Amino acid sequence: MKTKITEMFGIQHPIIQGGMHFVGFAELAAAVSNAGGLGIITGLTQRTPADLANEIARCRAMTDKPFGVNLTFLPVVTAPDYPGYVKAIIDGGVKAVETAGNNPQKWLPALKEAGIKVIHKCTSVRHALKAEAIGCDAVSVDGFECGGHPGEDDVPNMILLPRAADELKIPFVASGGMADARSLVAALAMGADGMNMGTRFIATKEAPVHENVKQAIVAASELDTRLVMRPLRNTERVLTNEAVERLLDKERALGAAIKFEDIIEEVAGVYPRIMLKGEMQAGAWSCGMVAGLINDIPTCKELIDRIMAEAEQLIRARLEGMLAA
């Protein structure tokens, strides 16, 4: 399949693996890229720019295909060493960057100068248009279904994607709720040039996370995610567990007076405990509603090959077959 996204990133299939904290290590990024998609290392999971440089080198040793790095611009007072991370990406010869969070404008000149394609992930048409205006090459449009931070507008992809298609000139991929060939074909029908998956890629053989995390996703239904931190305007879609229900009790009890410090136990520092140690009640971790569509733990290649084969079937047999001769 050839789309503006496969052409832009030099990949075989229009499938991207979104950056994921404590999931997007070199092993997963390389597996996705080797399977013909675009694998992405999560920049901020690496504690220092030197660590990121090392992770990029590790990934390059595992694949000769293009891969990218996610840079999430957090709304925090003491920012991580972003200049250092950007330098590690450029020096590492990476040619694709997924930005997310705050506006990436400040970093675009350096990235562009190095010939890097920038795909900005955002959850609204207005932010997508802003990304286009400041010179991003593509956007990843993340609907309300998505695991992680869906923003505060709550527009699901059935509306958000055609809205994006109506407004944008640059290509975009559909993100949030994407799991299989049906997701891909629907996304293409709504104007996207590919899809980005997060949660689906966690439940793969190569995802370097604890087996408990993969089993939790397989066991979960579409009813098992919750939105936390809404009162702090930092909404995150997570899989429910004891810590998440405790956090929601606090939100109900404290109302508008709630502060980050009140929920620190449920959200701070929980990713390594969940992802690496498999302590499934340790705190709130991002997971999409798409968990309801995930029933197995294939390799990345099995997953991507299956999606592409079934997508071809859907287009050639089901859709074309519906047209009158």
Ligand X SMILES: Cc1cc2nc3c(=O)[nH]c(=O)nc-3n(C[C@H](O)[C@H](O)[C@H](O)COP(=O)(O)O)c2cc1C
Compute the least distance from the CB of residue 324 to ligand X, in Å.
Answer: 36
Please list, in sequence order, all residues whose beta carbon lies within 8 angstroms of the beta carbon of residue 271, skipping any fewer than 6 positions away: 21, 22, 45, 285
Compute the least distance from the CB of residue 236 to ligand X, in Å.
Answer: 9
- Binding flags for ligand X, 63-102, as an x/- string (CB under 6 A): -------x-x---------------------------x--
Residue in the shown chain whose Cβ atom is closest to ligand X: 198
Output 43 or 92, the one with its CB closest to ligand X.
43
Window of 88-96, 170-178, 256-264, 298-306 that interacts with ligand X by CB under 6 A: 170-178
| Count of residues that bind ligand X according to CB under 6 A | 29
Closest among 198, 122, 131 to 160, alpha carbons compared: 122
Q: Which of 122, 197, 263, 307 forms a contact with ligand X (CB under 6 A)?
A: 197
DSSP 246: H
Binding to ligand X in span 228-267, by CB under 6 A: none
CB distance 97 to 69 below 8 Å:
yes
- Laid out side by side, the sheet with 172-175 consists of 15-17, 195-197, 172-175, 138-142, 117-122, 96-101, 67-73, 39-42
Strands (E) across the chain are located at: 15-17, 39-42, 67-73, 96-101, 117-122, 138-142, 172-175, 195-197, 225-228, 236-239
123 contacts ligand X (rule: CB under 6 A): no
146 contacts ligand X (rule: CB under 6 A): yes
Q: What residues line the site for ligand X (CB under 6 A)?
A: 18-21, 23, 42, 70, 72, 100, 121, 142, 145-148, 175-178, 196-200, 285-288, 290
